[in-house]
Structure 1
Amino acid sequence: MRKTCLLKFLVVDVPSAYNVILGRPTLNTFQAVVSTYHMKINFPTPGGVGEVQGDPLQSRKCYVEAIRKGQKRNVDDASDQVPPSKKGKTPEGENTEETETPAKVQPAEELLNIEIIPENPDKTTRIGSHLGEEAKKEITLCLQRNADIFAWTPQDLEGIDPQIITHHLNIDPSYKRVK
């Protein structure tokens, strides 16, 4: 089964455990139903229901590789050991080979809270603790000089069209309402 829709998409060159990320607008365009547990996407087509089936083993390999790459970038990580996972079955009942389970992802460094508005200690953000003193000072000053562009509450979002920031349910008007 096939379905073709014209979509706008963004290509980015960043490390990721995913080959593609489909957002809600795309899923809504396809009227898709997603099941992360079953690793499936179902969508209506003129000839019936189309289905995209994920591959659990490939998914696990991509995830492990993404974690490995993340660990290589983390210079403070003293241990590169990854505990093995237990053998199990995929949702389709297939046996999985013993694979490595990635260690939990940790921040590369601790972060420092800095006050953006010194008169208001609740208005803070965080910066890296491993920055040099001069860099910390410059970043803090830059953030404080530009404190007026931070939106701390929805009321601070003046001048933004409500159509952009208002949530709408994507409901087919031909369906009967149910309470």
Structure 2
Amino acid sequence: MYPDLYKGLKLRPKDLGCYDSPLIGFNGKIVFLKGQIELPVQTGSKVMEVNFIMVNAHSPYTAIVVRPWFHAMGDVPSTLHLKVKYLSGDQQSKVSVWSTEVVVGEARCKELKIVVIGTDEDNFFQVGVQLPPQEKEELVVFLRRNIDVFAWNAYEALRVDPNFIFHHLNVNPSAIPKKQSPQRSSKEHFDAVREEVTKLKRARAIKVVFYLEWLANIVDVKKKSGKWQVCVDFADLNKACPKDAFPMP
């Protein structure tokens, strides 16, 4: 269990019991644990007391459960589908690993109604038809009143202030920059690349750079729809970037 979940459950530090064994992280460093606590966990109609170990470290997850819990609950995890299936009475249910929403039986898609906002028919919202008429009307009025905060395509989205957050590549300083040999493309590929580059420049996602230290070729992949997906061969650059250790679910 990580601090975000522990604080969210409004648990106090004195609720933790003693736990002396250290934990070795994926990066090889020793993480000293804050303690352990026993909490009831409900999955469907089944409730079981589970011992959680409090780890005082940053993680994209709130908690991680291990195989003994799956065995005790009779669950079937799938790392491929990121789902956990369990038996609830005479029905088979499933729960997503990434959310707390439980889907029992077959999930049904709600009916949605398209509501056009403004004069452009391509700009619309989808509102559930199950909403009460008054609530639906208030929702549409609210959306129209705040129409200026929505971006209808990537080029209308505001840029993020670099003083708030920015991304940089963690390139190994000892790595030698590589320039891939240029490859000729057919006219069909060239037109697809030019169109994609124009879009990215309009969105200010890329800019022209001279005296390149790294040079990678463009790779075109044809989708099932018949359109071309433009990718970049970053194989050499990926090799020069150290891999970060991260916990697996």
CA radius of gyration, larger in = 2
Q: Same fold (TM over 0.5)?
A: no
**Structure with higher strand content:** 2
TM-score tier by shorter-chain length is 0.3 to 0.5
Q: Give me the TM-score of the superposition, normalised by structure 1.
A: 0.42
**Structure with higher helix content:** 1
